[in-house]
Each structure stands twice: as C-alpha cells, then as structure tokens.
Amino acid sequence: MRRAVLILGVLAVLVGLGVASDSGGGGVASAASKPDEAFTASGLGVTPSGAESSAWFCAGGTGAGGDAPSTMIFTNATPRPVTGTVTTVPLGAAASSTPVLVPADTQEAVGPTPVATGVPLASTVVLSGGGVGVSQVVTSPLGVSSAPCASSTAGSWYFADGSTAGGDTLSLTLFNPTDTDAVVNVTFVSSGGVLAPPAYQGIEVPGNSLAVENVGLHVRNQAHVATAVVALSGAVVATETEVAGTAGDGGTSVVLGAQSPASTWTFAQNTDVAGGTIAFHVFNPSARLARVTVWIGLEQGVAEPLVLRVAAQSIVALDPARVPRIPGGVPFSVTFVSAGGVGIVVDRQMSSPAGTGPPERGRVQAVPGGADRWLLPTGDPPSTAVESLSVVNLNQAPAIVTLLMSSPRGLVTVPGFRHRRLRFGSPLIVTPTPGSPIGSVPLELVASAPVAVEVDGLPTGSAGVAVIPALPLR
C-alpha cells in the first residue's frame, strides 16, 4: 500500500521576478573551487578509460511507436573499442538484454529492444571499460530532446520547473535498476503552495522496474511546478518528460533531475531572439533564504551582476527581457552562485519564434559546478549537426582551454583550436566550420581550471532550445 508520508517542513512558493542590482558577494571563484559539484549534483561522470567497467542508467522515453521514442547515444573518445550489455526494462513487461559494441573514437546510436515497443521504458548499460559516455534522445512530432543518462542512482532528485498548464503534459519516471526495492515520496511546489498528493507518497518501485507518473493528474493546470523526489528506502533514477505546445509552436523535453542542490549553476550560451522567450527558474528546496548572485557574461563588454533573493523552499523566475543590462539578440552566459552554503537547482525554459522549425520550445537543466575535463559528443541522431560549442570560465583568474582528438599518436590538439585563454565569465562560442572535427568526432576538452560547457545541436528553432549533453570526465 502507498503511505502518505510528507517531507519535513512546509514549502512556500514564489514564482516571479526578484532582482536587485548588486555587484558584490558570492563570488564565482569560491563556488567554482568545488568541482566535485559537477558530479555530486548532476549524478554524472564518465569513468576513466582505464577502468575495468562502468555503468549508466537511462529513463524517460518510450519504445518505437510510443509518444517519445528513445535512442541511446554512446560516445567513445578513447583509442580502443568498448563492449557491453544493454538491459531494457519496459513498463509492466519483462526485461531483455542485448550486446553493444562501441568502436574506438566513434559515436553509436542504439535503439531499445523490440520488446519495448510503444511503452515507457528504462535501460541499464554495463560496459567492459571506461571512457564512454551515454546519453539519450527522445523524439515526438514536436521535435527532439537530449539528456544525459545517469551514472549513479540516488536517494533524492530535484527538478527546478515544469508545466502542466494549457495542455502541457509532464511525466515523472522513476527507475530502480538495483535488486533492492525502493519506496519514494514525491512533493511539488507550485503557485498553489505545497502539493503532496497521497497518490505520490510511498510509491513502491521494485528492483529492476520503473514507475511513470502523470504529474498533471494531481497537479492540474500549473505553469510552474518544481519537483522533489525523496526515497524512504532504496535508490532510483528520476527524469521528467514534458510535452508543451502544439505543432509549429511546441517541443518535447527530457530532463535528468539533479541528485542534490548545488551552489553554482551555469548556462554557457543564451540568446534572447526576437519573437522568442527565455526564462531561468531557481528552485531553493532548503529551509533557508538563498542569496543568489547572477553573473552575466558577454563576448564583448561587461554587465553588472544581479542578485536574486529566493525564499526558503520556493521558486523564482528570471526573465532576461525584463533586465535592461542583458542585451537582446546577442549571446550571453549566466552563472547562478548561491552564497552561505544554501544549495539551489536551476533550469532554463526557452522558445524560438513560432514556425521556425521544431522543436520551438525546450527545457534543460543548467550545468552544476564545473569540471576541468569534458567529453564532447558529435551531433546525435536525429539531430544533423553541432551548431555551436560554448565554454565559460568560472574562475576569477584566466583559464586555458584546449580541445583534443584521438589519433594514432594518442590525443592531439584539434587543428585550428590551439590553447584559448578565457577571461572570467566571458563565453567562448565556437561555430564549427566545414571539415572541422568539432561535431564530427568525439572530442575531449581540457581546461586549466573548472569551466562549464554547452553544446547546441541542429535542427532547432534557435540555439539553446535543444542541447546535446556534454559529460564531465572524472
């Protein structure tokens, strides 16, 4: 039986703009000195290539013929092939396994086994070595969306925002890839306050199974919904899939939750295009006020930072169009830094002008912390190419960034991309040229200090709507 067990405390919600001009406090340098946040908050981390084995857990899509068919993307930037096994767990059906081979220095797309046709599914990937990253792509008539798979399970997961308003569909997938049964509570924060529907308390997720919950059945017509997943026993992987809008003005988004709040979150590339929208959502699940400094990075010039005050256990939305110091029509980066040890979770909801090409809408989680090594994928099917690679230095001191690719002589510098020196906060945005290995073969980005990375793919209405996951390397 499901037990109605509420999480401790009372949650309040504030959905709106809370901005104050302030250039002091909460410096990025102190927050970025915690590179472990890239792994502990995100649940991600590519195991070193010399490891004997590695595992990934993918959830949030369906089999062929379903609402959001899922394809797994294996990225191998090492000079040796890696073999493994994919075990697919369909909702309400028996699991099945299939072997997988990821050749050296390539990217492979692997669909689910035929037994998963048309139903929600999840997969466990066990590889014979490290150095390989795994993500997934879901498709729908409204377009494509990519999200990393998790490299670990956890007892808690957080999502900064979602929507059940205006016909939008928000689904929460809970995947238990272990042999131990899990019991999970799910609580929501919306404009209506705390929502802990009895149907979502004490959800039982037996070992090697998944549960899929339609959030809109119990959290109706809410434009902003933050989600907290807490396991009373066991551990799970949690993703949300949102279908928003209609053909010509919509999109499908799959989002892997954050395993824990973090002090620093970054989007390396954002462009507020005419006729489109951007909204950043900051979720404070703690019992303390969060004072969040928003650092704005421009390719040219400097913008004063902002300060958001996010009440305990609430949401604040930041609309760049209402902030004069953020210019329209040009790329900028944003880094959210919470002071005083108060962890937050941040996402971005973005739309491009209607009719510009699917997907016109997309939601993606920010990069927590930073890392000094990143695995960069190629364009992932059905995306056709990498539109841009963006990098932000999270340190007050300059950082040196290098791109490496595999060769018979080992890792070598990518032609045309020797050491780049990045000043604090200013985004480096690279658009691949014809013949460039960027977006054509898996690459490794190495930095002298923690940086945040974003890879934008095509086709999409505009940059930032659909992001190809870059994965931190341990």
Q: CB-based contacts of 23: which residues, under 8 Å, 6+ apart? A: 304, 305
**pLDDT over threshold 60, residue 275:** yes
Mean per-residue pLDDT for 17-35? 41
Q: What is the DSSP letter of 439?
A: T
- What pLDDT is recorded for position 377? 92
Say what the pLDDT of residue 27 is.
Answer: 37
Q: Average pLDDT of 72-97?
A: 93
pLDDT for the residue 38: 84
CA–CA gap between residue 435 and residue 433 (Å, rounded): 6
Q: What is the mean pLDDT of residues 433-455?
A: 92
- Position 22 scores a pLDDT of 40
**Partners of 62 in the β-ladder:** 69, 120
CB proximity list for 300: less than 8 A, separation 6 or greater: none
Give, for 316, the enclosing helix (H) or strand (E).
Answer: strand 314-318
Helices (H) then strands (E): counts for the chain: 2, 36
Q: Which residues of 411-446 are buried (b: 16+ CB within 10 A; e: fewer)?
A: beebeebeeeebebbbbbbbebeeebbbbebbbbbb
Largest CA distance in the chain: 61
Query: Among residues of the chain, what percentage have pLDDT more than 70?
Result: 91
Q: What is the pLDDT of residue 379?
A: 83
Residues contacting residue 409 through CB under 8 Å, at least 6 positions apart = none
Q: Is the pLDDT of residue 5 over 90?
A: no
Per-residue pLDDT tens over the stretch 417-435: 889 999 988 899 999 888 8
277 or 191, higher pLDDT = 277
Q: Look at phi and psi of residue 409 and say left if phi exceeds 0, alpha if psi is from -120 to 50, else beta.
A: alpha
In angstroms, the CA 17 to CA 74 distance is 39
Q: Torsions phi, psi of 135, nearest 5?
A: -135, 180
User: Looking at the predicted structure, is the pLDDT value of residue 11 above 50?
Assistant: no
The radius of gyration of the chain's CA atoms, rounded to the nearest angstrom, is: 21
Task: Check if the beta carbon of residue 380 is closer than 8 Å to that of residue 460.
Answer: no
23 vs 48, residue with greater confidence? 48
pLDDT of residue 345: 98
* Mean pLDDT across 195-211: 96
- How many whole angstroms separate alpha carbon 109 and alpha carbon 72? 6
Residue 418: per-residue pLDDT? 80
pLDDT band, residue 112 (cuts 50/70/90)? low
Position 14 scores a pLDDT of 37
Among candidate residues 79, 170, 83, 72, the one with its CA nearest the CA of residue 124: 72
DSSP 115-175: GGTTSEEEEEEEESSSSEEEEEEEEETTEEEEEEPBSS-BSEEEES----STT-EEEEEEE
Q: What is the pLDDT of residue 272?
A: 85
pLDDT one-digit tens code per residue, 309-334: 999 889 999 999 999 988 888 899 99
Residues 6+ apart with CB under 8 A from 408: none
Instruction: Record the tokens describing residue 113, joined without a space.
Output: 């086994």
Choose the weakest-confidence range: 42-46, 120-124, 190-194.
190-194
**CA 454 and chain centroid, separation:** 10
pLDDT the model gives residue 460 = 76
Q: Which of 157-166, 279-288, 322-331 is least confident?
A: 322-331
DSSP state of 223: S
pLDDT for residue 36 is more than 80: no
Q: What is the mean pLDDT of residues 161-168?
A: 94
- Residue 24's contacts (CB-CB under 8 Å, 6 or more residues apart) are none
Q: Sort strands 226-233 and 156-159 into parallel, antiparallel or unpaired.
A: antiparallel
Higher pLDDT among residues 304 and 355, named by residue: 304
Which has the closest alpha carbon to 46: 153, 135, 155, 177?
135
Confidence at 380, pLDDT banded by 50, 70, 90: low
Rounded to whole angstroms, the Cα distance separating 33 from 61 reads 35
Question: Rounded to whole angstroms, what are the CA distances from 206 to 180, 210, 235, 236, 241?
Answer: 7, 8, 10, 10, 22
With bands split at pLDDT 50, 70 and 90, how would you rate the model's confidence at 187? very high
pLDDT more than 90, % of the chain? 68
